[in-house]
Structure 1
Amino acid sequence: MSGRLSGKRIIITGAIGNIGKEAVRSFVAEGARVVIGDIDEHAGRAVVAEFGGATHFVKVDVSSEASVASLLAQGVEWLNGLDVLAQNAGLQRSGPITGFSQTDWDALFAVNARAHFFGAKHAVAHLKRSGTGSIINMSSLAGKRGGPGLVAYSASKGAVVAFTTALAMELAPDNIRVNAICPGWVDTAFNQPAIDFMGGANVQQQKIAALVPLGRQARAAEIAPLFVYLASDESAYVTAQSFGIDGGVYNG
Protein backbone atom coordinates (compact mmCIF):
# COMPACT_ATOMS: atom_id res chain seq x y z
CA MET A 1 0.00 0.00 0.00
CA SER A 2 1.03 3.62 -0.51
CA GLY A 3 0.84 4.84 3.09
CA ARG A 4 -1.61 7.61 2.29
CA LEU A 5 -2.52 7.83 5.98
CA SER A 6 0.92 7.33 7.46
CA GLY A 7 1.03 8.92 10.92
CA LYS A 8 -2.70 9.71 10.97
CA ARG A 9 -4.52 9.20 14.27
CA ILE A 10 -8.13 8.18 13.77
CA ILE A 11 -11.12 7.48 15.99
CA ILE A 12 -14.05 5.70 14.35
CA THR A 13 -17.42 4.73 15.77
CA GLY A 14 -19.58 1.90 14.47
CA ALA A 15 -16.60 -0.10 13.28
CA ILE A 16 -17.85 -3.67 13.70
CA GLY A 17 -20.37 -3.66 10.83
CA ASN A 18 -19.59 -4.18 7.18
CA ILE A 19 -18.85 -0.59 6.19
CA GLY A 20 -17.08 0.37 9.41
CA LYS A 21 -14.89 -2.71 9.42
CA GLU A 22 -13.87 -2.12 5.81
CA ALA A 23 -13.02 1.47 6.70
CA VAL A 24 -10.78 0.26 9.54
CA ARG A 25 -9.15 -2.26 7.21
CA SER A 26 -8.36 0.51 4.73
CA PHE A 27 -7.19 2.96 7.40
CA VAL A 28 -4.73 0.44 8.81
CA ALA A 29 -3.55 -0.67 5.37
CA GLU A 30 -2.73 2.95 4.54
CA GLY A 31 -0.64 3.44 7.69
CA ALA A 32 -3.03 4.94 10.25
CA ARG A 33 -3.46 4.07 13.90
CA VAL A 34 -7.13 3.60 14.74
CA VAL A 35 -9.26 3.65 17.87
CA ILE A 36 -12.46 1.64 17.42
CA GLY A 37 -15.50 2.75 19.38
CA ASP A 38 -18.55 0.53 19.55
CA ILE A 39 -21.16 -0.64 22.04
CA ASP A 40 -20.49 -4.33 21.29
CA GLU A 41 -17.32 -5.02 23.24
CA HIS A 42 -16.91 -8.63 22.12
CA ALA A 43 -17.19 -7.78 18.42
CA GLY A 44 -15.03 -4.69 18.84
CA ARG A 45 -12.21 -6.63 20.43
CA ALA A 46 -12.49 -9.20 17.65
CA VAL A 47 -11.86 -6.44 15.11
CA VAL A 48 -8.78 -5.37 17.08
CA ALA A 49 -7.57 -8.96 17.17
CA GLU A 50 -7.95 -9.13 13.39
CA PHE A 51 -6.12 -5.89 12.59
CA GLY A 52 -3.47 -5.95 15.30
CA GLY A 53 -1.44 -3.40 17.19
CA ALA A 54 -2.39 -0.43 15.05
CA THR A 55 -5.91 -0.62 16.53
CA HIS A 56 -7.37 -0.20 19.99
CA PHE A 57 -10.92 -0.72 21.28
CA VAL A 58 -12.97 1.56 23.55
CA LYS A 59 -16.55 0.70 24.43
CA VAL A 60 -18.97 3.54 23.71
CA ASP A 61 -22.69 4.21 23.67
CA VAL A 62 -22.99 7.01 21.12
CA SER A 63 -26.41 8.01 22.48
CA SER A 64 -24.71 9.14 25.72
CA GLU A 65 -22.65 12.33 25.74
CA ALA A 66 -20.64 11.15 28.74
CA SER A 67 -19.77 7.91 26.94
CA VAL A 68 -18.74 9.74 23.75
CA ALA A 69 -16.64 12.17 25.77
CA SER A 70 -14.92 9.21 27.42
CA LEU A 71 -14.26 7.62 24.02
CA LEU A 72 -12.58 10.79 22.81
CA ALA A 73 -10.53 11.16 25.99
CA GLN A 74 -9.35 7.54 26.02
CA GLY A 75 -8.80 7.48 22.28
CA VAL A 76 -6.73 10.64 22.23
CA GLU A 77 -4.64 9.34 25.12
CA TRP A 78 -3.88 6.09 23.28
CA LEU A 79 -3.21 7.86 19.99
CA ASN A 80 -1.35 10.80 21.57
CA GLY A 81 -3.54 13.21 19.62
CA LEU A 82 -6.23 13.20 16.97
CA ASP A 83 -6.33 13.91 13.25
CA VAL A 84 -9.58 12.29 12.10
CA LEU A 85 -12.96 11.53 13.64
CA ALA A 86 -15.07 9.15 11.55
CA GLN A 87 -18.63 8.95 12.86
CA ASN A 88 -20.02 5.76 11.35
CA ALA A 89 -22.36 4.45 14.08
CA GLY A 90 -25.93 4.18 12.84
CA LEU A 91 -29.36 2.69 13.40
CA GLN A 92 -32.03 1.60 10.94
CA ARG A 93 -35.78 1.46 11.62
CA SER A 94 -38.47 1.39 8.95
CA GLY A 95 -42.24 1.63 8.85
CA PRO A 96 -45.17 3.84 7.84
CA ILE A 97 -45.42 7.12 9.72
CA THR A 98 -48.90 6.30 11.06
CA GLY A 99 -47.59 3.29 12.95
CA PHE A 100 -44.15 4.60 13.84
CA SER A 101 -43.46 4.91 17.57
CA GLN A 102 -41.92 7.87 19.34
CA THR A 103 -39.45 5.43 20.90
CA ASP A 104 -38.11 4.39 17.49
CA TRP A 105 -38.11 7.99 16.23
CA ASP A 106 -36.11 9.15 19.24
CA ALA A 107 -33.70 6.20 18.94
CA LEU A 108 -32.96 7.05 15.30
CA PHE A 109 -32.22 10.66 16.12
CA ALA A 110 -30.15 9.74 19.16
CA VAL A 111 -27.83 7.44 17.20
CA ASN A 112 -27.96 8.87 13.67
CA ALA A 113 -27.98 12.60 14.42
CA ARG A 114 -27.37 13.59 18.04
CA ALA A 115 -24.32 11.32 18.33
CA HIS A 116 -22.61 13.36 15.59
CA PHE A 117 -23.07 16.46 17.73
CA PHE A 118 -21.54 14.72 20.74
CA GLY A 119 -18.57 13.45 18.75
CA ALA A 120 -17.78 16.75 17.10
CA LYS A 121 -18.24 18.70 20.32
CA HIS A 122 -15.64 16.62 22.13
CA ALA A 123 -13.26 16.21 19.19
CA VAL A 124 -12.82 19.82 18.13
CA ALA A 125 -10.35 20.85 20.84
CA HIS A 126 -8.12 17.89 20.02
CA LEU A 127 -8.28 18.57 16.28
CA LYS A 128 -7.40 22.22 16.88
CA ARG A 129 -4.30 21.15 18.77
CA SER A 130 -3.27 19.10 15.75
CA GLY A 131 -3.48 22.22 13.59
CA THR A 132 -5.68 20.49 11.04
CA GLY A 133 -8.25 17.74 11.00
CA SER A 134 -11.08 15.92 9.31
CA ILE A 135 -14.51 14.97 10.60
CA ILE A 136 -16.27 12.35 8.49
CA ASN A 137 -19.98 11.94 9.16
CA MET A 138 -22.11 9.04 7.96
CA SER A 139 -25.35 10.10 6.32
CA SER A 140 -27.23 8.23 3.58
CA LEU A 141 -28.90 8.56 0.23
CA ALA A 142 -32.05 8.61 2.37
CA GLY A 143 -30.86 11.90 3.83
CA LYS A 144 -31.14 13.46 0.38
CA ARG A 145 -33.95 11.42 -1.14
CA GLY A 146 -36.48 9.69 1.07
CA GLY A 147 -38.94 6.95 0.35
CA PRO A 148 -41.94 5.08 1.77
CA GLY A 149 -41.27 3.68 5.20
CA LEU A 150 -38.13 5.78 5.60
CA VAL A 151 -39.59 9.02 6.94
CA ALA A 152 -37.91 8.85 10.34
CA TYR A 153 -34.66 7.38 9.04
CA SER A 154 -34.50 9.96 6.24
CA ALA A 155 -35.14 12.78 8.67
CA SER A 156 -32.32 11.64 10.94
CA LYS A 157 -29.90 11.26 8.05
CA GLY A 158 -30.99 14.56 6.50
CA ALA A 159 -30.10 16.21 9.79
CA VAL A 160 -26.56 14.90 9.35
CA VAL A 161 -26.28 16.55 5.93
CA ALA A 162 -27.36 19.93 7.34
CA PHE A 163 -25.16 19.48 10.41
CA THR A 164 -22.15 18.69 8.22
CA THR A 165 -22.57 21.81 6.10
CA ALA A 166 -23.03 24.14 9.05
CA LEU A 167 -20.19 22.62 11.09
CA ALA A 168 -17.83 22.84 8.13
CA MET A 169 -18.47 26.58 7.93
CA GLU A 170 -17.90 26.95 11.67
CA LEU A 171 -14.64 25.01 11.75
CA ALA A 172 -13.09 26.17 8.47
CA PRO A 173 -11.09 28.96 10.17
CA ASP A 174 -9.44 26.27 12.29
CA ASN A 175 -8.49 24.22 9.20
CA ILE A 176 -10.83 21.43 10.26
CA ARG A 177 -12.74 19.91 7.37
CA VAL A 178 -16.19 18.33 7.76
CA ASN A 179 -17.76 16.09 5.13
CA ALA A 180 -20.45 13.42 4.94
CA ILE A 181 -20.72 10.11 3.13
CA CYS A 182 -24.13 9.23 1.71
CA PRO A 183 -24.29 5.60 0.60
CA GLY A 184 -27.24 4.20 -1.29
CA TRP A 185 -28.06 0.51 -1.10
CA VAL A 186 -25.13 -1.42 0.37
CA ASP A 187 -25.07 -5.19 0.78
CA THR A 188 -25.09 -5.24 4.57
CA ALA A 189 -27.31 -6.58 7.34
CA PHE A 190 -27.82 -3.00 8.49
CA ASN A 191 -30.52 -2.57 5.83
CA GLN A 192 -32.60 -5.56 6.91
CA PRO A 193 -35.40 -3.48 8.51
CA ALA A 194 -35.88 -1.61 5.22
CA ILE A 195 -35.75 -4.84 3.24
CA ASP A 196 -38.40 -6.38 5.48
CA PHE A 197 -40.63 -3.32 5.04
CA MET A 198 -40.27 -3.57 1.26
CA GLY A 199 -41.45 -7.17 1.28
CA GLY A 200 -38.21 -9.14 1.32
CA ALA A 201 -34.97 -9.53 -0.57
CA ASN A 202 -36.56 -10.49 -3.90
CA VAL A 203 -38.65 -7.30 -3.97
CA GLN A 204 -35.62 -5.30 -2.93
CA GLN A 205 -33.54 -6.72 -5.77
CA GLN A 206 -36.28 -5.92 -8.27
CA LYS A 207 -36.43 -2.31 -7.07
CA ILE A 208 -32.67 -1.97 -7.15
CA ALA A 209 -32.59 -3.25 -10.72
CA ALA A 210 -35.25 -0.72 -11.69
CA LEU A 211 -33.98 2.32 -9.76
CA VAL A 212 -30.18 2.05 -9.60
CA PRO A 213 -28.50 2.94 -12.91
CA LEU A 214 -25.61 0.57 -12.16
CA GLY A 215 -28.17 -2.13 -11.43
CA ARG A 216 -26.78 -3.47 -8.16
CA GLN A 217 -26.00 -2.77 -4.53
CA ALA A 218 -22.60 -1.53 -3.42
CA ARG A 219 -20.16 -3.71 -1.54
CA ALA A 220 -18.90 -2.34 1.77
CA ALA A 221 -15.38 -2.35 0.36
CA GLU A 222 -16.55 0.15 -2.26
CA ILE A 223 -17.44 2.68 0.45
CA ALA A 224 -14.15 2.44 2.34
CA PRO A 225 -11.98 4.30 -0.23
CA LEU A 226 -13.98 7.48 0.35
CA PHE A 227 -13.20 7.25 4.07
CA VAL A 228 -9.51 7.05 3.18
CA TYR A 229 -9.70 10.01 0.80
CA LEU A 230 -11.51 12.22 3.32
CA ALA A 231 -9.09 11.22 6.09
CA SER A 232 -6.04 11.92 3.94
CA ASP A 233 -4.29 15.15 3.00
CA GLU A 234 -5.45 14.54 -0.57
CA SER A 235 -8.77 16.11 0.43
CA ALA A 236 -7.20 19.17 2.06
CA TYR A 237 -9.39 21.52 -0.02
CA VAL A 238 -12.61 19.54 0.42
CA THR A 239 -15.15 20.53 3.05
CA ALA A 240 -18.92 20.95 3.53
CA GLN A 241 -19.63 18.18 1.01
CA SER A 242 -22.04 15.26 1.20
CA PHE A 243 -20.72 12.59 -1.15
CA GLY A 244 -23.14 10.12 -2.70
CA ILE A 245 -22.06 6.55 -3.37
CA ASP A 246 -25.32 5.23 -4.74
CA GLY A 247 -24.80 3.77 -8.20
CA GLY A 248 -26.22 6.91 -9.81
CA VAL A 249 -29.61 7.08 -8.07
CA TYR A 250 -29.33 10.66 -6.84
CA ASN A 251 -28.12 13.13 -9.43
CA GLY A 252 -29.86 16.31 -8.35
Structure 2
Amino acid sequence: MSARLTGKRIIITGAVGNIGKEAVRSFVAEGARVVIGDRDAAAGEAVAREFGDGVRFIRTDVAEEASVRSLVEEGAAWLGGLDVLVQNAGVQYSGAIADFETAHWDLLFTVNVRAHFFGAKYAIPHLRRAGGGSIINTSSLAGKRGGPGLAAYSASKGAVIAFTTALALELASDNIRVNAICPGWVNTAFNRPAIDFMGGASAQEAKVASFVPLGRQARSEEIAPMFVYLASDESTYMTAQAIGIDGGAYNS
Protein backbone atom coordinates (compact mmCIF):
# COMPACT_ATOMS: atom_id res chain seq x y z
CA MET A 1 0.00 0.00 0.00
CA SER A 2 1.04 3.63 -0.58
CA ALA A 3 -0.22 5.31 2.64
CA ARG A 4 -2.64 7.47 0.66
CA LEU A 5 -4.68 8.17 3.80
CA THR A 6 -1.94 8.97 6.30
CA GLY A 7 -3.33 11.39 8.86
CA LYS A 8 -6.93 10.96 7.74
CA ARG A 9 -9.54 10.64 10.49
CA ILE A 10 -12.50 8.55 9.39
CA ILE A 11 -15.85 7.56 10.89
CA ILE A 12 -17.74 4.73 9.17
CA THR A 13 -21.12 3.14 9.92
CA GLY A 14 -22.07 -0.37 8.91
CA ALA A 15 -18.49 -1.56 9.22
CA VAL A 16 -18.85 -5.16 10.32
CA GLY A 17 -20.39 -6.51 7.10
CA ASN A 18 -18.52 -7.50 3.98
CA ILE A 19 -18.21 -4.19 2.12
CA GLY A 20 -17.84 -2.09 5.26
CA LYS A 21 -15.21 -4.34 6.77
CA GLU A 22 -13.22 -4.35 3.53
CA ALA A 23 -13.39 -0.56 3.49
CA VAL A 24 -12.00 -0.44 7.04
CA ARG A 25 -9.25 -2.88 6.07
CA SER A 26 -8.29 -0.64 3.17
CA PHE A 27 -8.46 2.57 5.22
CA VAL A 28 -6.13 1.16 7.85
CA ALA A 29 -3.74 -0.26 5.26
CA GLU A 30 -3.51 3.20 3.70
CA GLY A 31 -2.63 4.88 7.00
CA ALA A 32 -5.96 6.19 8.33
CA ARG A 33 -7.31 6.04 11.87
CA VAL A 34 -10.90 4.83 11.94
CA VAL A 35 -13.91 4.84 14.23
CA ILE A 36 -16.53 2.26 13.34
CA GLY A 37 -20.17 2.30 14.35
CA ASP A 38 -22.55 -0.66 14.25
CA ARG A 39 -25.39 -2.20 16.26
CA ASP A 40 -23.58 -5.51 16.64
CA ALA A 41 -21.26 -4.91 19.59
CA ALA A 42 -19.54 -8.30 19.51
CA ALA A 43 -18.79 -8.10 15.79
CA GLY A 44 -17.75 -4.46 16.04
CA GLU A 45 -15.32 -5.11 18.86
CA ALA A 46 -13.89 -8.04 16.91
CA VAL A 47 -13.28 -5.85 13.86
CA ALA A 48 -11.58 -3.22 16.00
CA ARG A 49 -9.31 -5.83 17.58
CA GLU A 50 -8.48 -7.30 14.17
CA PHE A 51 -7.27 -4.00 12.78
CA GLY A 52 -5.37 -2.71 15.78
CA ASP A 53 -4.93 0.38 17.90
CA GLY A 54 -5.83 2.76 15.09
CA VAL A 55 -9.43 1.54 15.10
CA ARG A 56 -12.09 2.11 17.75
CA PHE A 57 -15.60 0.66 17.90
CA ILE A 58 -18.60 2.61 19.21
CA ARG A 59 -21.90 0.81 19.39
CA THR A 60 -24.36 2.75 17.23
CA ASP A 61 -27.96 2.39 16.15
CA VAL A 62 -28.28 4.60 13.08
CA ALA A 63 -32.07 4.56 13.45
CA GLU A 64 -31.66 6.73 16.56
CA GLU A 65 -30.55 10.34 16.18
CA ALA A 66 -28.96 10.47 19.62
CA SER A 67 -26.91 7.37 18.86
CA VAL A 68 -25.57 8.82 15.61
CA ARG A 69 -24.78 12.09 17.33
CA SER A 70 -22.84 10.22 20.02
CA LEU A 71 -20.91 8.28 17.39
CA VAL A 72 -19.85 11.47 15.62
CA GLU A 73 -19.05 13.45 18.76
CA GLU A 74 -17.21 10.65 20.60
CA GLY A 75 -15.54 9.48 17.42
CA ALA A 76 -14.29 12.93 16.46
CA ALA A 77 -13.03 13.48 20.00
CA TRP A 78 -11.07 10.22 19.95
CA LEU A 79 -9.69 10.94 16.48
CA GLY A 80 -8.84 14.55 17.27
CA GLY A 81 -11.12 15.81 14.51
CA LEU A 82 -12.82 14.46 11.44
CA ASP A 83 -11.87 14.36 7.76
CA VAL A 84 -14.17 11.70 6.31
CA LEU A 85 -17.64 10.38 7.12
CA VAL A 86 -18.62 7.09 5.47
CA GLN A 87 -22.30 6.21 5.75
CA ASN A 88 -22.45 2.52 4.88
CA ALA A 89 -25.11 1.14 7.23
CA GLY A 90 -28.14 -0.21 5.41
CA VAL A 91 -30.92 -2.78 5.29
CA GLN A 92 -32.48 -4.74 2.44
CA TYR A 93 -36.04 -5.93 2.01
CA SER A 94 -37.48 -7.21 -1.24
CA GLY A 95 -40.97 -8.05 -2.38
CA ALA A 96 -43.84 -7.07 -4.64
CA ILE A 97 -45.32 -3.73 -3.58
CA ALA A 98 -48.87 -5.09 -3.39
CA ASP A 99 -47.68 -7.45 -0.64
CA PHE A 100 -44.97 -5.32 0.91
CA GLU A 101 -45.01 -4.75 4.67
CA THR A 102 -45.41 -1.12 5.71
CA ALA A 103 -43.02 -1.74 8.60
CA HIS A 104 -40.34 -2.85 6.15
CA TRP A 105 -40.90 0.24 4.00
CA ASP A 106 -40.51 2.45 7.06
CA LEU A 107 -37.36 0.65 8.19
CA LEU A 108 -35.79 0.99 4.74
CA PHE A 109 -36.24 4.75 4.86
CA THR A 110 -35.21 4.99 8.51
CA VAL A 111 -31.90 3.16 8.08
CA ASN A 112 -31.09 3.82 4.42
CA VAL A 113 -32.14 7.48 4.23
CA ARG A 114 -32.88 9.22 7.53
CA ALA A 115 -29.64 7.95 9.07
CA HIS A 116 -27.69 9.70 6.30
CA PHE A 117 -29.30 12.97 7.35
CA PHE A 118 -28.30 12.37 10.98
CA GLY A 119 -24.72 11.55 10.09
CA ALA A 120 -24.26 14.54 7.83
CA LYS A 121 -25.97 16.91 10.27
CA TYR A 122 -23.54 16.13 13.07
CA ALA A 123 -20.41 15.60 10.95
CA ILE A 124 -20.59 18.86 9.00
CA PRO A 125 -19.41 21.14 11.85
CA HIS A 126 -16.37 18.91 12.41
CA LEU A 127 -15.57 18.81 8.69
CA ARG A 128 -15.84 22.60 8.52
CA ARG A 129 -13.41 22.94 11.42
CA ALA A 130 -11.00 20.69 9.53
CA GLY A 131 -11.16 23.01 6.53
CA GLY A 132 -13.14 20.55 4.43
CA GLY A 133 -13.40 16.85 3.88
CA SER A 134 -15.42 14.06 2.32
CA ILE A 135 -18.81 12.49 2.97
CA ILE A 136 -19.22 9.12 1.28
CA ASN A 137 -22.72 7.68 1.14
CA THR A 138 -23.52 4.13 0.10
CA SER A 139 -26.35 3.90 -2.39
CA SER A 140 -26.85 1.10 -4.92
CA LEU A 141 -27.37 0.24 -8.55
CA ALA A 142 -30.97 -0.17 -7.40
CA GLY A 143 -31.05 3.56 -6.66
CA LYS A 144 -30.44 4.23 -10.34
CA ARG A 145 -32.24 1.30 -11.91
CA GLY A 146 -34.84 -0.78 -10.13
CA GLY A 147 -36.32 -4.16 -10.90
CA PRO A 148 -39.11 -6.52 -9.88
CA GLY A 149 -39.29 -6.84 -6.12
CA LEU A 150 -36.91 -3.94 -5.56
CA ALA A 151 -39.28 -0.96 -5.73
CA ALA A 152 -39.10 -0.16 -2.01
CA TYR A 153 -35.35 -0.70 -1.73
CA SER A 154 -34.78 1.26 -4.94
CA ALA A 155 -36.83 4.16 -3.62
CA SER A 156 -34.70 4.35 -0.48
CA LYS A 157 -31.42 4.14 -2.38
CA GLY A 158 -32.62 6.65 -4.97
CA ALA A 159 -33.29 9.03 -2.10
CA VAL A 160 -29.66 8.61 -1.00
CA ILE A 161 -28.50 9.72 -4.46
CA ALA A 162 -30.80 12.76 -4.43
CA PHE A 163 -29.61 13.69 -0.92
CA THR A 164 -25.99 13.24 -1.97
CA THR A 165 -26.16 15.49 -5.01
CA ALA A 166 -28.10 18.25 -3.26
CA LEU A 167 -25.87 18.17 -0.19
CA ALA A 168 -22.76 18.32 -2.36
CA LEU A 169 -23.95 21.59 -3.86
CA GLU A 170 -24.87 22.93 -0.42
CA LEU A 171 -21.42 22.18 1.00
CA ALA A 172 -19.15 22.93 -1.96
CA SER A 173 -18.22 26.36 -0.61
CA ASP A 174 -17.03 24.66 2.59
CA ASN A 175 -14.68 22.42 0.61
CA ILE A 176 -16.73 19.40 1.71
CA ARG A 177 -17.21 16.86 -1.04
CA VAL A 178 -20.23 14.52 -1.03
CA ASN A 179 -20.41 11.46 -3.26
CA ALA A 180 -22.31 8.18 -3.36
CA ILE A 181 -21.00 4.73 -4.22
CA CYS A 182 -23.52 2.59 -6.07
CA PRO A 183 -22.53 -1.10 -6.00
CA GLY A 184 -24.34 -3.54 -8.21
CA TRP A 185 -24.72 -7.19 -7.25
CA VAL A 186 -22.13 -8.02 -4.61
CA ASN A 187 -21.66 -11.51 -3.21
CA THR A 188 -22.67 -10.77 0.38
CA ALA A 189 -25.30 -11.96 2.84
CA PHE A 190 -26.83 -8.48 2.66
CA ASN A 191 -28.58 -9.48 -0.57
CA ARG A 192 -30.31 -12.53 0.96
CA PRO A 193 -33.82 -10.96 0.81
CA ALA A 194 -33.45 -10.27 -2.91
CA ILE A 195 -31.95 -13.71 -3.52
CA ASP A 196 -34.90 -15.36 -1.78
CA PHE A 197 -37.35 -13.25 -3.81
CA MET A 198 -35.63 -14.34 -7.03
CA GLY A 199 -36.03 -18.02 -6.15
CA GLY A 200 -32.76 -18.86 -4.43
CA ALA A 201 -29.04 -18.62 -5.07
CA SER A 202 -28.97 -20.62 -8.30
CA ALA A 203 -31.74 -18.58 -9.89
CA GLN A 204 -30.17 -15.34 -8.73
CA GLU A 205 -26.74 -16.28 -10.08
CA ALA A 206 -28.25 -17.19 -13.45
CA LYS A 207 -30.11 -13.87 -13.54
CA VAL A 208 -26.98 -11.91 -12.68
CA ALA A 209 -25.00 -13.75 -15.36
CA SER A 210 -27.68 -12.88 -17.91
CA PHE A 211 -27.80 -9.11 -17.41
CA VAL A 212 -24.40 -8.12 -15.96
CA PRO A 213 -22.01 -7.65 -18.90
CA LEU A 214 -19.06 -8.95 -16.85
CA GLY A 215 -21.16 -12.03 -16.14
CA ARG A 216 -20.75 -12.26 -12.37
CA GLN A 217 -21.28 -10.63 -9.00
CA ALA A 218 -18.65 -8.38 -7.44
CA ARG A 219 -16.47 -9.23 -4.49
CA SER A 220 -16.37 -6.85 -1.54
CA GLU A 221 -12.69 -6.15 -2.14
CA GLU A 222 -13.62 -4.81 -5.59
CA ILE A 223 -15.79 -2.12 -3.99
CA ALA A 224 -13.46 -1.01 -1.18
CA PRO A 225 -10.91 0.84 -3.37
CA MET A 226 -13.54 3.43 -4.32
CA PHE A 227 -14.00 4.27 -0.64
CA VAL A 228 -10.25 4.86 -0.39
CA TYR A 229 -10.21 7.05 -3.48
CA LEU A 230 -13.10 9.22 -2.26
CA ALA A 231 -11.51 9.52 1.19
CA SER A 232 -8.14 10.51 -0.25
CA ASP A 233 -6.83 13.80 -1.62
CA GLU A 234 -6.79 12.20 -5.06
CA SER A 235 -10.51 12.96 -5.39
CA THR A 236 -10.51 16.61 -4.34
CA TYR A 237 -12.24 17.68 -7.57
CA MET A 238 -14.98 15.06 -7.39
CA THR A 239 -18.30 15.87 -5.78
CA ALA A 240 -22.03 15.33 -6.37
CA GLN A 241 -21.40 12.00 -8.10
CA ALA A 242 -23.21 8.66 -7.87
CA ILE A 243 -20.48 6.26 -8.90
CA GLY A 244 -21.52 2.86 -10.18
CA ILE A 245 -19.45 -0.28 -9.56
CA ASP A 246 -21.78 -2.73 -11.21
CA GLY A 247 -19.99 -4.74 -13.90
CA GLY A 248 -21.72 -2.66 -16.58
CA ALA A 249 -25.23 -3.57 -15.43
CA TYR A 250 -26.59 -0.03 -15.43
CA ASN A 251 -25.98 0.26 -19.16
CA SER A 252 -26.97 -3.26 -20.13
Instruction: Give structure 1 regions of 4+ aligned residues with deviation exceeding 3 angstroms.
Output: none
Secondary structure of residue in 2 paired with 1:110: helix
Secondary structure of residue in 1 paired with 2:50: helix
**What is the match of residue 192 of structure 2?**
192
Q: Normalising by structure 1, what TM-score? A: 0.99
**Which deviations, in whole Å up to 9, do the C-alpha atoms of 1:111-144 show, x marking residues without a partner?**
0011000000000000000001000000000000
**What is the match of residue 129 of structure 1?**
129
**What is the match of residue 61 of structure 1?**
61
> Within 2, Cα distance between the matches of 1:100 and 1:205?
24
Secondary structure of residue in 2 paired with 1:35: strand
> Residue type matched to 1:152 in 2?
A
Q: Note the C-alpha offset of 1:251.
A: 2.8
**What is the match of residue 95 of structure 1?**
95
**What is the match of residue 163 of structure 1?**
163
> Within 2, Cα distance between the matches of 1:79 and 1:144?
35
Q: Note the C-alpha offset of 1:102.
A: 1.0
> Residue type matched to 2:27 in 1?
F
Q: Normalising by structure 2, what TM-score? A: 0.99
**Which deviations, in whole Å up to 9, do the C-alpha atoms of 1:178-233 show, x marking residues without a partner?**
00000000000000000000000111111111100000000000000000000000
**What is the match of residue 37 of structure 1?**
37
**What is the match of residue 26 of structure 1?**
26
> Within 1, Cα distance between the matches of 2:70 and 2:169?
26
Matching of residues 192-211 of structure 1 within 5 Å: 192-211=192-211
**What is the match of residue 86 of structure 1?**
86
> Within 2, Cα distance between the matches of 1:59 and 1:200?
33
Secondary structure of residue in 1 paired with 2:12: strand
> Within 2, Cα distance between the matches of 1:212 and 1:14?
26
**What is the match of residue 176 of structure 1?**
176
Structure 1 alignment gaps of length 5 or more: none
Secondary structure of residue in 2 paired with 1:221: helix
Structure 2 alignment gaps of length 5 or more: none
RMSD over aligned Cα atoms: 0.7
Q: Note the C-alpha offset of 1:245.
A: 0.3
Secondary structure of residue in 2 paired with 1:37: strand
**Which deviations, in whole Å up to 9, do the C-alpha atoms of 1:4-41 show, x marking residues without a partner?**
00000000000000000000000000000000000000
> Within 1, Cα distance between the matches of 2:230 and 2:77?
23
Secondary structure of residue in 1 paired with 2:37: strand
> Within 1, Cα distance between the matches of 2:52 and 2:29?
11
Report how many residues are paired.
Answer: 252
Matching of residues 144-155 of structure 1 within 5 Å: 144-155=144-155
Secondary structure of residue in 2 paired with 1:53: coil
> Within 2, Cα distance between the matches of 1:148 and 1:208?
14
Q: Note the C-alpha offset of 1:101.
A: 1.2
